[in-house]
Structure 1
């Protein structure tokens, strides 16, 4: 258990192994694309290592803070996330047909990744201030209304991240609410909202058709190649660096479809090892949340747990064609500088809770 005044070293160890494994897998997956596009097989690795270094600095800085101090500025983080999401719509940089990035000179970042962390902090603070009213349906509706603007703005260009943000909100409300029957209504309302959102753009409905019958559509090519990679890996895989599908058959293999390359190179056992690391990470979030001294800390850890769990499940579901392709990355494994930076900031928040807001084992025994 996390002791007061000490970080959760189990969480740090698992995180370190996961990040290191992710960098090795990323290099193996991206070397071919890097060589073909940039004449540098380590192009993607270098950028990811740089982002990971920044992320670890941000993580340790965040972990040193007392998370209680963030309660009063949580609304400001949410406001900044809203403004950045609006900016993406008007001045965002488009890549592969999606406008999701803001450019800062030579650098670019995805505000939607910051929005995930901002929503966790904001809702943790908002729910804590209204905890005595959580049994009222009116309070739950009010919270969802507050969250819907960021969901809508992010969803305009990035439906997958909007789904994750909405899911995080539902989980945090569920954790704090004493009445579970209210979630039947919220679930129906959420399903209706997502149905309307899908119908607004024809390409989103097209994804459903591609999902049902990928062989009949050109856009099903990536899904089929990913499934070929998974099937060819067998139990033990072809060996690290020996993937065939990453040689241009799976487009942008280092991004959303990287789990298929893991299965091809490392086989079922390698894929299970990566999944076990995620399960251990989620388990530590759960322990920290249950041992937190206050609701605010418990909700921060619960939000991080929900984020990690939802994103991992959705990514693997997409790769295996269990759900339609939504462009969700695998945390700490897929290529993406903004993603890894803000994921590590999120880890810093959880470490702050483990250090400043958890009971030690002696206290529990007493």
Structure 2
């Protein structure tokens, strides 16, 4: 049966998404006002940039949501090749900010190609798995698809290991969902561990992060982790109150970025942090529902890829903030400061909304 567009968007997903975006902007202002005032003499500096990126992202989301998602099958390979080219460009002409070369500048604007790579990879893998669905159970086919994504994982990982882990995780989840033979993933998992071990060994600072994680008190670079834990612990059940954080006043460096969850815990307590997590859980639940009711395999894999992306990024960010895993510099979706991140996340949500509006 040919898929047709005769269903409304998933309004539960839309409601949870807008609540999360609004909550994120409120928390971002509360967290960034001090840094904005100190560095730029404008407490609204970070908020204004994030609102601009969010509005662009929402516009892009609705444009993509109202398009036939099957169109993207024709651009999936081109999008993936573009992601590789942009990742190569970062290595040679990228801008270095805070010691990391992750940005490309286009006039007055700058963006992170790694955020584009996540969306491009979801479409590319959805297309590759759909094209090879009859042979997906064969080890040769699985290895072929995994090898296809290693170039972008390697290029992104050269400057941004955390995003490379997310990209690799998305790939594993999509192939795992499509494959009927789960036993093969033991071998695939060992390959993945080996790949990450090589990346860790290539740069000494990555091995140093493991030592800092085990004993943050013994290292100067463990300061951020300790201050984040102090913020979480001081929040209690109900928090100090919105805007009342002490740790954001320079104690947690760049609190509006990766460590923003610790400030949520400090200001809003366990209940406020729980509310944010519930919104993420609703998003993930709706991704799952949309994937299971998708009109075809391509649509199901797009929704599954978005679900995997959201799950991995949220879990890793919170794990880093609570020092459950070493610090990897992963942002909290829709909450942490980052214009490129929020724009491409919203476009990704547009893809899922498009899938939700089609039926068999």
TM > 0.5 fold call? yes
Deviations 1:202-235 (A, max 9, x none): 0000000000000000110000000000000000
Question: What is the 5 A alignment of 1:195-234?
Answer: 195-234=197-236
CA distance in 1, matches of 2:150, 2:219: 33
User: Would you say the 8 A contact 1:4–1:354 is kept in 2?
Assistant: no
Q: Which residue number corresponds to residue 98 of structure 2?
A: 96
Q: Which residue number corresponds to residue 38 of structure 2?
A: 36
Q: Which residue number corresponds to residue 185 of structure 1?
A: 187
User: Would you say the 8 A contact 1:7–1:352 is kept in 2?
Assistant: yes
3-state SS, counterpart of residue 101 of structure 1: strand
Measure how far apart 1:5 and its partner are: 2.7
Q: Which residue number corresponds to residue 266 of structure 1?
A: 268
The two structures, once aligned, show a CA RMSD in angstroms of: 0.7
Q: Which residue number corresponds to residue 65 of structure 1?
A: 67
Q: Which residue number corresponds to residue 13 of structure 1?
A: 15
Identify which of 283, 292, 295 aligns with 1:281: 283
User: Would you say the 8 A contact 1:124–1:299 is kept in 2?
Assistant: yes
Identify which of 296, 301, 320 aligns with 2:322: 320
CA distance in 2, matches of 1:41, 1:196: 42
CA distance in 2, matches of 1:151, 1:344: 22
Provide TM-score, normalisation by structure 2. Answer: 0.98
3-state SS, counterpart of residue 357 of structure 2: helix
Identify which of 277, 290, 304 aligns with 2:292: 290
3-state SS, counterpart of residue 58 of structure 1: helix
Q: Which residue number corresponds to residue 79 of structure 2?
A: 77
CA distance in 1, matches of 2:6, 2:153: 36
Measure how far apart 1:72 and its partner are: 1.5
CA distance in 2, matches of 1:109, 1:189: 31
Identify which of 145, 148, 159 aligns with 1:146: 148
Q: Which residue number corresponds to residue 363 of structure 1?
A: none
Q: Which runs of 5+ in 2 are unaligned?
A: none
3-state SS, counterpart of residue 102 of structure 1: strand
Identify which of 330, 346, 349 aligns with 1:347: 349
CA distance in 2, matches of 1:76, 1:21: 35
Counting matched residue pairs gives 356
Measure how far apart 1:4 and its partner are: 3.6
CA distance in 2, matches of 1:197, 1:295: 33
CA distance in 2, matches of 1:197, 1:45: 35
CA distance in 1, matches of 2:6, 2:35: 46
Measure how far apart 1:311 and its partner are: 0.1
Question: What is the 5 A alignment of 1:113-128?
Answer: 113-128=115-130
Q: Which residue number corresponds to residue 58 of structure 2?
A: 56
CA distance in 1, matches of 2:72, 2:113: 20
Q: Which runs of 5+ in 1 are unaligned?
A: 360-366
Measure how far apart 1:301 and its partner are: 0.1
Measure how far apart 1:320 and its partner are: 0.1
CA distance in 2, matches of 1:196, 1:257: 27
Q: Which residue number corresponds to residue 249 of structure 2?
A: 247
